Structure 1
Amino acid sequence: MELNKMKVTRKKGSYRLFFMALPFVMLIFAFAYVPIFGWIYGFFDYKPGLDLSQMEFVGLKNFAKLATDWGDLSRVLRNTFVMSSLGILASPIPMIFAILLNEIRRPFFRKFVQTTTTLPYFISWIIVFSLSFAIFSNEGLISNILKMMGSSKTFSNILGENNAVWMFQWLLGIWKSIGWNGIIYIAAIAGIDAELYEAARVDGANRFQLIRNITVPGLYPTYFVLLLLSISNILSNGFDQYFVFYNTLVANRIEVLDYYIYKVGILINDYSYSTVLGMIKTVLSVSLLFTANTLSKKLRGESIV
């Protein structure tokens, strides 16, 4: 009887967990899988307002545009890979930040630092652009300070500096995301067995040795999972940041694939070709994920899929 009651209780708990997760599964299906059916428009000459039966079937014609459009596409892919590569190079920064934050002994100061560094993540890129313009433009804060100091040097508007756009956008991305990404590593640090630290202290380990021999190895699994996800998203830099900072002076280096798909589909109204670009981007991203996952499994013996 007791065994049967335990089975019934487990079943009820399983159903409860299932129904709790069901709304989130439905949302993921609606926003991540249903749009895949829209890929069919890549094989038609899509015209807004017409039914699929009224559109001309063109087969692989839109895919052939990849060859004729390779000049612009190669430039866009260059920008995309450069910005993504810079992001991957910066991937250890949130882990280092979380380790340093964890070493702060005063709770009030630690919470203050964590709050102030996490806040930029919730600020819209439009606000970030407005602040950047107010500080770095020709008539911005830095330029006015130089004038007040009597300097004869003119401050160059970094928002329109073509040679500095990659580094500037990279630093903005780090500033905006370091606090939020650091939360993941802070949670991972909290999951490390405290007895390991106590045993190491008994053996005479100092704080640096504790970090090097316990904290950092304990964060390796989390770091590699996030690294694999970053590699799979190498074609997805995001849209908002590059959209608000886009201007004709830096267009050659700030136009990434997400923005280019938007431009082709919305500004040029070539919906079919933009669908093809999005389709190829998704397929390549999934391929990169499984490739990185296979390499991780062979080299480290661990994987995320």
Structure 2
Amino acid sequence: MTSPAESGQEAAIARTATPRKSLATRLFRERYGFLLLLPGLVYFIWFRYVPMLGNIIAFEDYSPFIGFVHSDWVGLKHFKRIFEDAEVIRVIWNTLWLSFLQIVFAFPVPIILALMLNEVRNQKVKRVIQSVVYLPHFLSWVVVAGIVTIFLKTEGIVNKLLHLGFGTEAIPFLQQPGWFMPLIVLEVIWKEAGWGTIIFLASLSGVNPTLYEAAIVDGASRWRQIWHITLPAIRGTIVILLILRLGSVLDSGFTQIFLMLNPFTMKVGNVLDTFVYFKGIQQSDFSFGTAVGLFKGVVGLVLIVGANRVAKKFGEDGVF
């Protein structure tokens, strides 16, 4: 009868004696699985990674007439312009302020909606509410901007209701700079909050019902149950989504901002995404526009890595 130590040694010898299959053999054996991966892999390589080679023009005085190879290399010249140009500083401030408003006001709304829907016991009512709040997500920003314009223009329905109800004069919502940021945040909340609740509802579905039963036995009110059971259950999801949101803090969404901008709101509404378009495409300053876009990407990467490390120090899983 062999001892456990001897059997362990025999197993180790058997593993080392078994020849490892070559990479080609393993690829052939799993060929159908890799074929399924191939379209997605080709998409990301061709449309995501190959275009990144064009970032080289951020270090050149690029001219489309002579191409990448023959354009003059200028190093960090365009990156220095980012911190010397007063317009860029103002645009960065607009972007940061808008992202701050969205994190403070728009980010918590899906969490609140998920908590409220989780308390609805009538499944039919719950499904109807879910459908209503999810639907705006499937509208494009072009449609959303069109709806907002129709409702808020000087002769729109909102001004007509204000005039009938309070006798006020028409308010130029779309032309007043002070209304631009609040309207952008409200549009984001209306369009995306319902869709964001899906993730939190999925997290809540994994909560053990016995925890609520035990809390009821201990005399915990419904608010106490939410605070001590429901919120801790989705804390990890909240942290991960917040980390990802911080990574896109300089990404305010080009389409929405571009559609809502006009000459009256340009000073407060021009963000990095639209600035890159105006500077790089309309004014043909390709190198500077690319430098600004590359700067935005690097800052986003640093924020994601930093926020992820902070989350891990506080005991959360993080993104990676």
Using structure 2 for the length normalisation, give the TM-score. 0.84
Counterpart check, 1:249 vs 2:264? yes
* Matches of 2:123 and 2:238, distance apart in 1: 25
Tell me the SS of whatever aligns to 2:143: helix
Question: Residue 133 of structure 1 is aligned with which of 139, 149, 152?
Answer: 149
Select between 23-32 and 185-194 the one with higher mean Cα deviation. Answer: 23-32
**Aligned-pair CA distance for 1:201:** 3.7
**Match for 1:42: what amino acid?**
A
Tell me the SS of whatever aligns to 1:139: coil
- Aligned alpha-carbon RMSD (Å): 2.5
**Aligned-pair CA distance for 1:166:** 1.4
**Match for 1:236: what amino acid?**
D
* Matches of 1:55 and 1:116, distance apart in 2: 54
Tell me the SS of whatever aligns to 1:160: coil
Partner of 2:208: 193
Counterpart check, 1:97 vs 2:89? no
Tell me the SS of whatever aligns to 1:222: helix
Tell me the SS of whatever aligns to 1:156: coil
Partner of 1:116: 132
Question: Residue 281 of structure 2 is aligned with which of 266, 269, 278?
Answer: 266
Give identity over the alignment, percent.
33
Superposition pairs for residues 161-240 of structure 1, below 5 Å? 161-240=176-255
Select between 121-130 and 20-29 the one with higher mean Cα deviation. Answer: 20-29
How many residues are aligned here? 295
**Aligned-pair CA distance for 1:105:** 1.4
Q: Which has the larger radius of gyration?
A: 2
* Matches of 1:196 and 1:37, distance apart in 2: 53
**Aligned-pair CA distance for 1:25:** 3.6
**Aligned-pair CA distance for 1:169:** 1.2
**Match for 2:139: what amino acid?**
I
Which ranges in structure 1 are unaligned for 5 or more consecutive residues? 5-10
Using structure 1 for the length normalisation, give the TM-score. 0.88
* Matches of 1:128 and 1:92, distance apart in 2: 21
Partner of 1:7: none
**Aligned-pair CA distance for 1:33:** 2.3
Partner of 2:15: none
Contact 1:231 1:292 in 2 (8 A): yes
Tell me the SS of whatever aligns to 2:250: coil
**Aligned-pair CA distance for 1:13:** 10
Tell me the SS of whatever aligns to 2:214: helix
* Matches of 1:244 and 1:19, distance apart in 2: 41
Which ranges in structure 2 are unaligned for 5 or more consecutive residues? 1-17, 19-26
Change (3 A) 1:17 1:93: farther
Partner of 1:82: 97
Select between 191-200 and 131-140 the one with higher mean Cα deviation. Answer: 191-200
* Matches of 1:152 and 1:201, distance apart in 2: 52
Counterpart check, 1:64 vs 2:74? no
Counterpart check, 1:52 vs 2:68? yes
**Aligned-pair CA distance for 1:206:** 4.1
Contact 1:142 1:155 in 2 (8 A): no
**Match for 1:156: what amino acid?**
I
Counterpart check, 1:106 vs 2:106? no
* Matches of 2:278 and 2:118, distance apart in 1: 44
